[in-house]
Amino acid sequence: MKLPEKYDRIYRKLPPALWALIGTLLVFVILTGFTNLNVVLGRALIEQEPLKNVDALVILGGGIDQDTGVLGFKTEERVRTGAQLFLKNKIAPVVVVTGGKTHNNPFAEAPAMAKLLEQLGVKENFILQDDKAQNTLENAANVVAMGKRLGWKSIIVLTSDFHTSRACTFFRRAGAPPVTCRAADRKTVSQNSPIRRWESTKAVLREYAANVYYWLIGRR
Check whether 10 has a pLDDT greater than 70: no
Confidence of residue 57 (pLDDT cuts 50, 70, 90): very high
Check whether 9 has a pLDDT greater than 90: no
Check whether 2 has a pLDDT greater than 60: no
Residues 6+ apart with CB under 8 A from 190: 196
**Backbone CA torsion sign across 7, 12, 18, 20:** positive
The structural domains of the chain, with segments of one domain joined by +, span 47-188
Digit-coded pLDDT (tens) for 11-33: 566 676 665 777 777 776 777 77
Confidence of residue 5 (pLDDT cuts 50, 70, 90): low
Q: Per-residue pLDDT averaged across 57-72, rounded?
A: 97
How far apart CA 158 and CA 101 sit, in angstroms, is 20
| Integer CA distances (angstroms), 195 to 30, 34, 37, 112, 205, in order | 11, 9, 13, 23, 15
CA–chain centroid gap for 199, Å, is 11
| Integer CA distances (angstroms), 176 to 74, 139, 152, 170, in order | 24, 11, 9, 9
Question: Is the CB of residue 178 less than 8 Å from the CB of residue 153?
Answer: yes
State the CATH class of domain 47-188: alpha beta
- Number of Cβ within 10 Å of residue 132's Cβ equals 15
Digit-coded pLDDT (tens) for 131-184: 999 999 999 999 999 999 999 999 999 999 999 999 999 999 999 999 999 999
How far apart CA 209 and CA 124 sit, in angstroms, is 37
Cα torsion through 141, 87, 75, 147, rounded to 10: 0
